[in-house]
Every structure is written in C-alpha cells, then in structure tokens.
Structure 1
C-alpha cells in the first residue's frame, strides 16, 4: 500500500510531458473544487432559509401544544394547572382559546384567527416583543393586537375609537331563528398594537385578545379552552413532559411539538433540501467524468512505467491501486479546498453581508458543520468510484499490450 500510494502521490503532483493531459487534469481538479464549493454554499443557503422559515413559526408556536381528541374545546381545572406547574417540568403554561372568526372595519371584512391568551402567555412565548407599534393587550379589556397585513387591509390605525373594529361569531344552538341578528355575537375591539413577523401569511393570520373575550365570542364556559400551550424547563425531555401531561389531563388528549404542528412545512423544506442536494450531486458527478478521462489518459501515457514496474515484480493489484490512489488524492484535495473556499464565502456573507434581500435584511445563510461532512463524504465516495472506474483500465489485457 505504501509503495502504491507513494507512486500515486508522485504522479498526482508531477507534470506530464503532454500539455493536453496537464490541461485536462487541471480542468478536472478545478471542476472538483468548484463543484464542492458550490455544493457547500448552496446547502448553507438552504440551511439559512430553513432556519429563517422556521423562525416565523417558532415565534407563534409553543414547544408543546395540547388539543382535545373529542372536540374543539375542553375543560381544565386549576388543580390540573397547578399539578403541571409544580411538576418542575415546565417553565410556562398558558391557556388559549382560538378559532376562525369574521372581522370587519370600514365596510371591509376578512376571516382570521382570534387568539385569546391569558396573562401567563408571555411565559410561553416572547411574541409580545414582536409588537412593533402600540402595546400588548391588557387584562379584562376589549384590546386587540393585529398583524401588519390586517392593519394594511383595513387601513387601520391604533386606538381608533371613532371607527368600529368588530368581530363576529356564530351563536351556538338549535331551532329556527326569527331575527338573523340574533344568530351572531358581535364585539367591538380596540386595536392597541400591531405585530410584525415579516411573513405575509402569518401577519394576516391572528388577532390577539384576552382569554375572557375569546371565550365570550365562542360561547365557552369559564374553565373551557381550545388548547394549552407549554414551554419546557431547561434540560427536560419532551417524552417526560408529554408523559406528565397525559398523567394529569388523561389519555384523551393530543400533544404536539413544533415539528408536528408544522409537519407540512418541515416536509416541504426537507424535500427541497433533498432535491437540491441531488441536483448538486449530479454536478459533482459530471465534474468527476473529467477526472476519469484524465486518469485514463495518464494511464496511457505511463505505459512504459507500468511495463517497467510489472517486470520488477509489481503485481496487477498494486499497479491498479496507483491510479486508484491518484484519483482519490485529486478528488480529496479538491473537495477539501472547495469546502474551505465555501466556508470562507459563507462566513464573509454572515459577518459582512454582501448580498441583501432588501435594505436592512441580509440574505439568510448559515454555517452548519453537518454540511461540511455531507459535502466531503459525497466527494470522497464519488471520487473513489471515479478513480476505481479509471484504474480498472489497468488489467491483464492492458499489461499484455504494453
């Protein structure tokens, strides 16, 4: 192995007598470097976009969210809340009531989610910090915090008491309705804050109110909620927390984490990442075809050396390994150099921001060590395959010819 590797190392760094072979080898080496660099940079961009996309949902979604299996709402007692609080597994627990309702303002209307939260909501989510204009809702009030999209749609200002910002909900019940107005619950809200997430869908999605107001709109009793949102204490596993929730509330409840709450988004991001990786892998394979051609030409050029080594007693397997190692050296060094250049590009974008989506908003990119491993492993494996294909040109019939 040492003998074959030594000869391969000499061949890899020595110039050929043929300028054409030198040019083709240089092209193959540059192709590997560029393709490795491109793969790492693009994967880093997708890592940044993934983190950027998930940051929106992480602002809204808690670490754990509890739903009822049997209906939209369920009752929870203070004893159950206290049992969860004293377990030491949770840093925050908030009661929430949410559903889709109709909102009207200045003869304009839209359907959005009303989200009634209690005074402990800030222990579960830092969403209050996303209120860019105005303030958060106060207890026992008709305050409302709307998204930037709803504010634009309604041309709505804050603390507007002259124009009615109204929410409309259907009254539950059976039987014939004589007066259509009796079928609805209407409440006037006071817009006191506007939140901005930077995502059009999420900025149009929610209107935050107090828990009591949301219960009144949805005709729920004092202890009824639609879901329970929880934040885990440091070092607590999801498995232990979920087990405690089911122990306190019962088995007829669904507990979801952030990934399960956004499973469609996670599937889409994973699919996009996989497709992008496969496309980049194809680019690397095309670059390695040049390496195969270069190695075959080197084998043809080294006929006299191969004949001499064969006469000196070097067997076929060792001769083949010379060119196998040479191909692996070229691909490995090219992959390492490409990844190093890619890391430099990623770090420069992170720290100095050369590319912007808009003013004050840098293009998201993220250095991820797993991307380094993925690119290097891909280059090493494909480089080995390419070198093996080329080195197989050294066979018994070839030795007989030389």
Structure 2
C-alpha cells in the first residue's frame, strides 16, 4: 500500500487529541457536504426550469425551419415538393405564410403576426393540444385561432357573430397610408384560443394558408417558410445539407435552438452565472479545509519529524496531508450528492416547493450536473489540500 496514503487514512480515521481540531475538521467536512448538495440541487433545479421554459416554445416551434436568404418568400415548385416528400429525411413538413399585420376587433387594434398554415401544421407542432378554448381551424375556411394575450387585450370572444376580426396588411407601393384603400383587408372568424407563454400568446393569430396568401398578396406557390418534423434517427447536418441542395443554397436553415437563439443564450448565461456563484460558495467552504489541514500539520509536527528522521522524504510527508484533504473532500462530495439526490427526488415526488398554486418547482436529473459537481468539488479540494500540504517543509520539521 502507498505509504503516504496509509498514514493519511490512519489520521483520517483516528480523532485528534485536540478538540478544537476535531471541531474544525467536522466544520470543514460539513461545509463540503452542504456546498456540494447546494450546487447539485441548484443545477438540477435550473435544468428543470430550463426544460419548462423551452417546453413552451417547443409546442409551437418545429424541429427544423427554412427561410429565404433574400426577400420574404420561397417559391416552392411541385418538383421540390415531391423531392421533400420522398427524401426520407422528414416525417412531414408544413408550408407557412406569416407577416406582421394589424388586427381590429370591436374598435380595438393590435399589431401581431398572422400565420397561415396548412393541414400538416398540427403534425409538425403540438399547438392543437395547447388550445385554451374552442377548436383548431378547419382547412379552406376563414377561421382563426388567436393567442390568449391577444384575445385578452382585444376582449375577443369566440363565435362572435356581431363583431368581425378584421385584418389589414399594407399594399406594396409608395406614398402615405391615409385610407383603408392602402391596405389589403380581410375578415376572420375566431374559433379558438391557444395558451403557451406570455410572449407567444401575444405573437400569433393562426388562419388557413390560402387566406394568409390572399391578405399578404402571395402567389399560390409562395411561402414565407417551411417547417419540418425530422424522421427518427435523421442527422440535422445531413438534413441541412440536403435542403440546401434542393433549394440551391438560397435558403437559411435553422433548428429549434437557432429559432430561439436569444432564449437559449439567456438560459446558458444564467446557468453559467449560477454555477460560478455556487462555485464561489464551495471555494469559501474549502477555506475551512485548508485551516483544518494546517492545524493538523502543526499538531503532527513531532510525528513528521520522526518520519523524516527515519528517511521519509519531504514530498512524501506532504502527500500525507494532500491525501487526507482529498479523503475529506471525496467523502463530503459523496455524502453531499446523496443528500442532493434525495432532496431532488423528494421534490419530484411530493412537490413540496411550488412556483404557484398549480405548478411545482421543476427539477431534472442530468448526468452532466453530477459530473460537473464532482469535477468542481474534487478539483477545488485538490487545490486546497495542495496549498495546505505545502506548509510541510524542512524549516517546519527542524523547529
């Protein structure tokens, strides 16, 4: 057995003669346990919040979406449509037409996106299952489904035969917009309200794609974008390469993360900030470990002197306290992780902490969080033990 490790293990098992050193060592161990547990619980909680936040956008965003590189529309030819259908890369795809327009209902106006969709849209996204009330639009009708935020601001009811939902889109050309003649105008019939998140509920009003084309003056083969649901096992990079070939590199291809780039950046930044803050907590906690090891070194000075006189090298004597510090760190890390797992599991099962009356605080087990906690604690514990063990030198032993 490695001699320094054997001595470190003996020192770790036996209590010190000094009550003060035992108390400081216990405090150091407790600090590592609590800080490890806190870091794991916070990272698991943030993983849950991240999943909850992204779940709202995932209900309405496709796995992949293409846009024109220039202009506002893509001319989708029958040949291209046939190639996409038979490619094997996609389970289904949906043609969409969208643009910011002005909506008017019962003398109340709201600027939002009109999004014309075909019958495949409900297969590409899960929007149909997120209806707050009413029903989804039927193909080839003037029906509309509005976001909860838009409906609330405009006091819009469903199946209201006394008030029309009017849509105004400016006609192309030059000059001042001074009358309704400067707009393409159409009347929609609200039949449903969807509810996802505060931002998304104020963004879209859905209608049939033919109606949207008429309002926005699009040709029958023109679309603003095409949304795709990837087939199982399909590589995003290969699908992207295929789409660029089909459309002669005249499109931009974005996956779900790129469609919500701002949200992903915000979540990643917050995750990094939380990790750094709690890493600082661990660093502060490990000051106790440094202090405990230094006090142990001074207490064992006579033993060290004896070992040195018996021929043990200084670097081996330093390893004794390096190993002892790592043993304390590893034990604290394991116990902290077990307690962290327990807390997260209890939260998942009992929902003891709630965001509001109906939504429990989300948590999620992720292997990357376990690896990150272990790596952080062990690395910082090693540095702390190395700093403390460096106090063992010839000058100390010769005193």
Could you tell me the TM-score, scaled by structure 1's length? 0.97
Q: Is the aligned partner of 1:393 residue 2:391?
A: yes
Alignment of 1:3-402 (within 5 A): 3-174=3-174, 180-197=179-196, 199-401=197-399
1:343 Cα deviation after fit = 0.9
1:78 Cα deviation after fit = 2.1
- Cα deviations by residue, 1:163-195 (Å, 9 ceiling, x for unpaired): 121111111234688x72210122111110111
Contact 2:305 2:398 (8 Å CA) reproduced = no
Inter-partner Cα distance in structure 1 for 2:95 and 2:188: 21
Contact 2:80 2:246 (8 Å CA) reproduced = yes
Contact 2:11 2:324 (8 Å CA) reproduced = yes
Secondary structure, aligned partner of 2:193: strand
- Cα deviations by residue, 1:332-388 (Å, 9 ceiling, x for unpaired): 110111111111111111122111111221111111111011001111000000000
> 5+ unaligned residues in a row in structure 2: which ranges?
none
- Cα deviations by residue, 1:291-336 (Å, 9 ceiling, x for unpaired): 0000000111111211221222222111111100000000111011
Inter-partner Cα distance in structure 2 for 1:13 and 1:158: 73
Inter-partner Cα distance in structure 2 for 1:327 and 1:267: 38
Inter-partner Cα distance in structure 2 for 1:349 and 1:166: 48
Secondary structure, aligned partner of 2:87: coil
Secondary structure, aligned partner of 1:358: coil
Inter-partner Cα distance in structure 2 for 1:300 and 1:388: 16
Secondary structure, aligned partner of 1:361: coil
> 5+ unaligned residues in a row in structure 1: which ranges?
none
Inter-partner Cα distance in structure 1 for 2:176 and 2:28: 80
Inter-partner Cα distance in structure 2 for 1:181 and 1:285: 66
Q: Alignment length, in residue pairs?
A: 399
Contact 1:84 1:244 (8 Å CA) reproduced = no
Secondary structure, aligned partner of 1:362: coil
- Cα deviations by residue, 1:16-65 (Å, 9 ceiling, x for unpaired): 11111111111000000000000011111111111111111211111111
Contact 1:165 1:191 (8 Å CA) reproduced = yes
Inter-partner Cα distance in structure 2 for 1:9 and 1:363: 41
Contact 1:72 1:226 (8 Å CA) reproduced = yes
Inter-partner Cα distance in structure 2 for 1:64 and 1:242: 9
Inter-partner Cα distance in structure 1 for 2:306 and 2:275: 44
Inter-partner Cα distance in structure 2 for 1:360 and 1:262: 26
Inter-partner Cα distance in structure 2 for 1:264 and 1:134: 32
1:158 Cα deviation after fit = 1.0
- Cα deviations by residue, 1:266-299 (Å, 9 ceiling, x for unpaired): 1111111111111111100000001000000011
Comparing 281-290 with 236-245, greater Cα deviation is found at 236-245
Inter-partner Cα distance in structure 2 for 1:366 and 1:175: 56
Secondary structure, aligned partner of 1:356: coil
Which segments of structure 1 move beyond 6 Å, counting only runs of 4 or more?
A: none
Secondary structure, aligned partner of 1:166: strand
Inter-partner Cα distance in structure 2 for 1:93 and 1:186: 29
Inter-partner Cα distance in structure 1 for 2:346 and 2:175: 68
